[in-house]
């Protein structure tokens, strides 16, 4: 079993990766904060306008239906416009949420610059670099921010120890596979007269065995 990196070294590697992720994500974080702030302002202004419009709503145009109908409409009027404001709030919420998740997915799929990776790799331990290589997988696509984020999470959850355990278990199983195979017909019992045992033949005998 290999000599694993010390916990202090792993924490240092996690700190370096976290700092790199923050630098890479900072522009998107600022953009998300601005978009969400603008969406909240627009939501508040429109919701306030809806409620103010409802307060000024006059139902005199229902005079042909009688005074009781006008009174009923005036009584439920505040609830009607609160429902409208609630529908507007749901529309804004789902639009912002959909945009936010799309932004997260786009950010995770962003490739890490070669210069950024070249500056980070020499400062990491070999075991932590092994976790980054493990996260990268089959390497059909460039190493992304999402890969780096997952590497940080895996380091914090002892992926180094798991990789070492996998290697040790593979060595155990491979060494077992290299042992000579036993004839499946050999059950450990002594041969009986007339019975073949692999390539060995025991001649049948008449009379007591000598």
Q: 79 in a domain, yes or no?
A: yes
pLDDT tens-digit map of 39-64: 999 999 999 999 888 777 766 655 56
Structural domain count, the chain = 1
Task: Specify if 1 maps to a domain.
Answer: no
Which stretch, 130-134, 191-195, 198-202, has highest mean pLDDT?
A: 130-134
* 78 contact partners, CB below 8 Å, separation of at least 6: 54, 55
- H or E element in which residue 22 lies: helix 7-55
190 found inside a domain: no
65-113 pLDDT, tens digit per residue, is: 656 766 666 677 778 889 999 999 999 999 999 999 999 999 999 999 9
The residue range of the domain holding 46 is: 8-175
84 inside domain: yes
2 lies in a domain? no
For residue 122, being part of any structural domain is answered with yes
- Composition of the chain by helix, strand, coil, percent to 5: 70, 5, 25
CA dihedral 175, 180, 185, 188 (to 10 degrees): -90
The answer to whether residue 72 is domain-embedded is yes
Q: Which residue carries 């009781």 as its tokens?
A: 68
Phi/psi for 157 (5° steps) reads: -110, 30
- Asked if residue 191 is part of any domain, the answer here is no
From 155, 170, 168, 137, select the one nearest 5 (Cα to Cα): 155
Tens digit of pLDDT for each residue in 152-174?
999 999 899 998 899 899 999 98
């Amino acid at each position: 079993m290999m000599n694993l990196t010390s916990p202090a070294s792993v924490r240092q590697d996690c700190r370096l990766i976290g700092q790199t992720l923050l630098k890479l994500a900072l522009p998107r974080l600022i953009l998300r904060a601005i978009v969400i702030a603008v969406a909240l302002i627009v939501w508040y202004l429109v919701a306030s306008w809806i409620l103010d419009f409802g307060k000024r709503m006059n139902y005199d145009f229902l005079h042909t239906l009688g005074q009781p109908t006008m009174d009923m409409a005036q009584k439920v009027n505040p609830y009607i416009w609160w429902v409208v404001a609630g529908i507007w709030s749901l529309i804004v919420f789902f639009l912002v949420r959909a945009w936010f998740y799309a932004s997260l997915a786009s950010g995770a799929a962003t490739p890490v610059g070669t210069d950024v990776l070249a500056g980070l790799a020499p400062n990491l331990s070999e075991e932590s670099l092994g976790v980054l290589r493990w996260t990268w997988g089959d390497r059909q696509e460039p190493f992304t921010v999402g890969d780096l984020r997952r590497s940080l999470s895996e380091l914090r959850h002892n992926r180094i120890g798991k990789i070492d355990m996998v290697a040790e278990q593979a060595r155990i199983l491979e060494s077992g596979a290299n042992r000579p195979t036993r004839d499946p017909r050999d059950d450990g019992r002594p041969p009986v007269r007339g019975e073949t045992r692999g390539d060995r033949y025991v001649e049948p005998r008449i009379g007591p065995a000598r």
